[in-house]
Each structure stands twice: as structure tokens, then as C-alpha cells.
Amino acid sequence: MTSSLSLPTLILASSSPYRAALLKQLGLSFKTHSPDLDETPLPQEPPQQLVARLAEAKARKVGAKLPNALIIGADQVAVLNQSLLGKPGTHERALQQLRAASGQRVIFYTGLCLFNTITGQTRTAIEFFQVEFRQLTETQIEHYLQREKPYQCAGSFRSEGLGIALFKRLQGDDPSALIGLPLIRLTTFLEQEGYPIL
């Protein structure tokens, strides 16, 4: 195991406050750097490949300037009836997304990459999470959006907040993956790199 005196710097390659809040739960010291990356899907790119590619690309872009670091990259997409649901950005688009999701199952794919800039090694994973929405009325959707304004969240909700009231059922191995950073898998990756958690 690496001694505490020589641990590499831990970097979260993300500007997401939600991912940073999740990582803080592990009680680790880390810094954040925005990767500023084009996240446009490639033609015919499946969602699993998209999130894996972008998670690694974010980690590598930030890691290119940091010689002694462990870089955490993550990316997430939501899929409803074969269509990608990105971050809505606006109230109107969020309304459209939640109307479409009402009574439906939405699948979330979260890509994770841990890049060791010392060894050049990457550890990657794709986490799957399924959300079944309740039948939602226009009033419920409007009230929810006015209260939480989840316009920078894929699928137009925050499951760690009031968004939990939108759901009928959740299915997946790691609830933190739904928020955008799968901590169970990340903990394993960090320990494999000699970075102690407990």
C-alpha cells in the first residue's frame, strides 16, 4: 500500500456540485478541475460506449497536466425509449422530459474512470440504474420543477432531493450512480490503486 506521505493528489474531473458532494461523503481530500470537453455523441454511438468514452476522456484531459494524481472522470446519460435524455437546460425542456417520462422506465448509464497519471493505467466501469416513474400530472410536474429547478440534471430530476417523489420504483446496485458518481465502484478502484478509504 502507498504510504500516506506519498499519496497522489485526488482530482475530480468535473464541475458538477452533485458529484463533488458525493465524493465528500468518503471523507477524502480532493480538488476539482473542469475538463471542458465536447460531450456530443458520435454517430450511432450506444449510450454505454458514450459514457465510458467521455468518462475516460475527461479524466485524461485533466490528467494531462498533473503528473502525480489519481483523476476521477464520470459521465451519465438517461435513455427513454431509445432516446437520450440530456440536461434540459431550460424549464420548457424539463417539462417535456418529465411529461415523456411519466409512467415510463428510464435507464441511466453512468461511466466511471480512475486514471493514474503516474502509471498511465485506467480503471473503467459502466453502472446501470433503472427508474420507473409514477404517473405524473401537469400540476405535479410544474410544482416539482418550480421547487427544485433541476435544469442541469440528466432526466430533469434530483433523486437525492424531492425528485424521489417522482418515482414508483428504483432498481440498481449503487444508488450513488443515479446521482452521477458510483461510489461503491470508485471505492474499489481507489483501494486497488493503494489509496486507502477506511
- pLDDT at residue 1 tops 70: no
Question: Would you say residue 197 lies in a domain?
Answer: no
Question: Would you say residue 163 lies in a domain?
Answer: yes
Distance CA 71, CA 190 (A): 10
User: Given 36, 38, 75, 174, which residue is catalytic?
Assistant: 75
Query: Which domain CATH number covers 29?
Result: 3.90.950.10
Distance CA 120, CA 117 (A): 5
Cβ neighbours for 35, distance < 8 A, ≥ 6 positions apart: 13, 14, 57, 58, 59, 61, 62, 73
CB 85 within 8 Å of CB 109: no
Provide the residue range defining the domain that includes 146. Answer: 4-192
Cβ neighbours for 80, distance < 8 A, ≥ 6 positions apart: 100, 101, 104, 105, 106, 107
Question: Would you say residue 198 lies in a domain?
Answer: no
Question: Would you say residue 45 lies in a domain?
Answer: yes
pTM for the model stands at 0.90
Q: Are strands 105-116 and 69-80 parallel, antiparallel or unpaired?
A: antiparallel
Secondary element (H or E) of residue 174: none
Give me the number of domains the chain comprises. 1
pLDDT digits (tens, 9 = 90+) for 80-100: 998 988 889 999 999 999 999
DSSP state of 104: S
Question: Would you say residue 167 lies in a domain?
Answer: yes
How far is the CA of 66 from the CAs of 13, 50, 105, 183, in angstroms? Answer: 12, 25, 40, 23
Is 38 one of the catalytic residues? no
Question: Would you say residue 176 lies in a domain?
Answer: yes
Cβ neighbours for 34, distance < 8 A, ≥ 6 positions apart: 13, 14, 15
pLDDT digits (tens, 9 = 90+) for 57-81: 999 999 998 989 999 999 999 999 9
- pLDDT at residue 2 tops 70: no
CB 148 within 8 Å of CB 162: yes
